Amino acid sequence: MSQKTEPILQMEAIEISFGGLKALDKVSLQVYPGEIMAIIGPNGAGKTTLLNVINGVYTPDNGRIFFDGKERPLKIKPHHVAAMGISRTFQNLALFKGMDTWSNIMVGRTKKMHAGFFSQGIYWGMSQKEEIEHREAVEGIIDFLEIENIRKQPAGMLPYGLQKRVELGRALASEPKLLLLDEPMAGMNLEEKEDIARFILDANEEIGYTIALIEHDMGVVMDICDRIVVLDFGNKIAEGTPDEIKSNPKVIKAYLGEAEGGGE
């Protein structure tokens, strides 16, 4: 992963305010193909807002966004962003609780289904071929995430750590060009964190996914990420490799605080 290649996602001077509060202030960042990038920062730094801007939930006031070499309008529907190849998971789980694991993951394939209602109904021709293809993909993900034993269990009845895994599975199912993970390890115990970290690394190294994630566990971030962007009160205060970030005085200040405090 060299910095010279074209970024898959480029954000230039993004600004967004909620009422009088500037949630993001001229934030620019790039995500390069094949990397795992982390967005970190103290609470309220604007991390989730940034993800929401990327996938179209929020419309920024100013700035430009380029995805996959093309400029993207600032105002866009989230499902159009998904169709462009960006999928995400949520900080608070957003699974269909009554549906089983398998179906939840299959939902991630929706954008890839083309057969019509009628031909799907009679399971014939292209829809048959498509069905086989999608089932294969979903089973591949189930195998990848090692959740064979919960294939047929309603997602709402699964323990939290497994629900997170299913959600990751659903995001993978759309075979995104860019995968956004909002705190994939929040609320997990050490073992569950290690599992998820391994799946994220495998998804990146074995399948080749580009991943941008938000995470609070610094140990994990430093271990698995190639590059880190640090936000504080809506500003990007640092960017670099884990080693650079660790020794950056601004980052230390943001995390440990300083007597004067306050935002800009």
Pick the binder of other proteins from 71, 143, 223, 244 (CB under 8 A).
Answer: 143
Q: CA 181, CA 200: separation in Å to the nearest integer? A: 10
Interior angle at CA 183, CA 82 and CA 34, nearest 5: 55
Interatomic CA distance for residues 215 and 219, integer angstroms? 10
Instruction: Report the relative pairing of strands 86-89 and 70-72 from DSSP bridges.
Output: unpaired
- How far, in Å, CA of 115 to CA of 91, rounded? 33
Q: Which of 9, 142, 238, 254 binds other proteins (CB under 8 A)?
A: 142
Kindly state the smallest distance separating residue 146's Cβ from other proteins, in Å.
Answer: 8
Of 19-27, 29-37, 116-124, 199-207, the window that binds other proteins (rule: CB under 8 A) is 199-207
Asked if 223 touches other proteins (CB under 8 A), the answer is no
Is residue 264 part of the contact set for other proteins (CB under 8 A)?
no
Per rule CB under 8 A, is residue 139 in the interface with other proteins?
Answer: yes
Binding mask 37-76 for other proteins (x = CB under 8 A): ----------------------------------------
148 scored as a contact of other proteins (CB under 8 A): yes
Q: Is residue 149 part of the contact set for other proteins (CB under 8 A)?
A: yes
Question: How many whole angstroms separate alpha carbon 77 and alpha carbon 180?
Answer: 16
With CB under 8 A as the contact rule, which of the stretches 64-72, 137-145, 219-227, 246-254 interacts with other proteins?
A: 137-145
b/e for 45-54, b at 16 or more Cβ within 10 A? bbbbbbbbbb
List, edge to edge, every strand of the sheet that includes 21-31.
Answer: 21-31, 9-18, 62-67, 70-72
Chain positions contacting other proteins, by CB under 8 A: 102, 135-136, 139-140, 142-144, 146, 148-149, 151-152, 198, 202, 205-206
